[in-house]
Amino acid sequence: MAEVTLLEAVREALAEEMERDENVFCMGEDIGAYGGAFKATDGLLQRFGERRVIDTPISEAGFIGAAAGAAHMGLRPVCELQFIDFISCAYDLLTNYVATARYRAFLPCPMVVRGPSGGYVRGGPFHSQNPEAAFLHTPGLKIVYPSTPSDAKGLLKSAIRDDDCVLFFEHKYLYRRIKETLPAGDHTVPIGRARVAREGKDLSIITYAATVWKSLEAAEQLEREDGLSVEVLDLRTLQPMDDAAIVATVKKTNRVLVVHEDTVTGGIGGEITARINELAFEWLDAPVRRVAAHDVPLPYAPALEDFVLPQTSDIVRAVRWLAAY
C-alpha cells in the first residue's frame, strides 16, 4: 500500500465514516466546492452531495450551534474550522452548552469540531495558535491531537463514533510533511490512550502533536552524541489523559521532560507535571521540567517564530540538564 500524508488520512477517515453511517455529515467554511482551506474535504461534495457536505457562512458560533442541534436529533456532524484559532468565537457554545448538554438534559452530543492548528509555518498570531489548554478544564469535552497519519485516521474515526463532543486538532505543519502506510480495514484508535513513540531507559519526554517529531529528533541526537536512551511518549489524547501511561514512563526512567508548543504559562505541561507529582513523585530522581513556547503572541517573522517556539536544540539542552541533575 502507498504511504499517505496526515491530511490524506483525515480525508480517508471522513469518507469512510460518511460511507459507513448516513448520519455523518460535514459542515464548515469552504469545505464543499473549494474542498477546504487545506483540501481536507476535497472530493467529498462530489461523492456525497450538498446535503452532507455543507458550506457555511463565516460564523463559527453559528454553525457549531447548528451542529449541536443536529447532534441532539441523532445526526453526527463534523465541523471544520478554516483555522482552529477561531474556535474562540464558539467558546461560549462549546463550554456552556455543548459540554454540559448530557449532564443538564441527558442529551448526547455526538459531534466533532476539527481544524488546522499550530505554528512552525510562518502564519502569524491569527493562524498559528494552540488553544487546547483553554478547553482542558471543561468537563464534557474530549480533546485529541495526533502526530501521525495512522493516529489521525484512527482517532478521527473514533471521534466521529463517540457520543460526546470531540475537539480534534490537526497540526498544519504535519499535514503534508509526515507520510505513513495506514493499516488495512476499519482502522480505529481508542480515545484516551497514549503511545510510546520511542523506547528509552534514561529519561522520558512527554509530548504531543508537532513536538513529538522535535522530541524524536532530539532523542536521536542525544543517543548519538551523549549515549542517552530517551523515551518519547506521545499523548495523542489530551482529555481524557492517559495517566497510566504517564506513570509507567516515570517509573521506567525516573526523569521527565514535558514538551509542547503552547505557551509555558497555563499550558498542558503544568497539568502533566501536577499529575506526576501526585501519582509518581517517589519515582522521580530530578524535577520535572518543561520546554514550551514563550508567553508572547506568535510572531510572523521566521527568526522570531523560531525563537518563540520550542526547537530541537531547546529539548536537547533541557534533557542534558536533567540527565546531569
Active site residues: 127
Q: Could you tell me if 28 and 81 are in contact, meaning their C-beta atoms sit under 8 angstroms apart?
A: yes
**Which residues lie closer than 8 Å to 19 by C-beta, 6 or more apart?**
none
Three cell numbers at 242? 492517559
CB half-sphere exposure, 60, CA atoms < 13 A: 18
Roughly what angle, to the nearest 10 degrees, separates helices 149-161 and 6-20?
30
Tell me phi and psi for residue 100, to 5 degrees. Answer: -100, 0
Three cell numbers at 174? 504535519
For residue 205, count CB atoms less than 10 angstroms from its CB and return exposed for 0-12, middle for 13-18, buried for 19 or more: buried
Three cell numbers at 116? 488546522
What span, in angstroms and rounded, lies between the C-alpha atoms of 175 and 148?
A: 9
What span, in angstroms and rounded, lies between the C-alpha atoms of 264 and 192?
A: 23
Sheet of strand 24-28: strand arrangement? 53-55, 24-28, 76-80, 112-117, 166-171, 142-144, 237-239
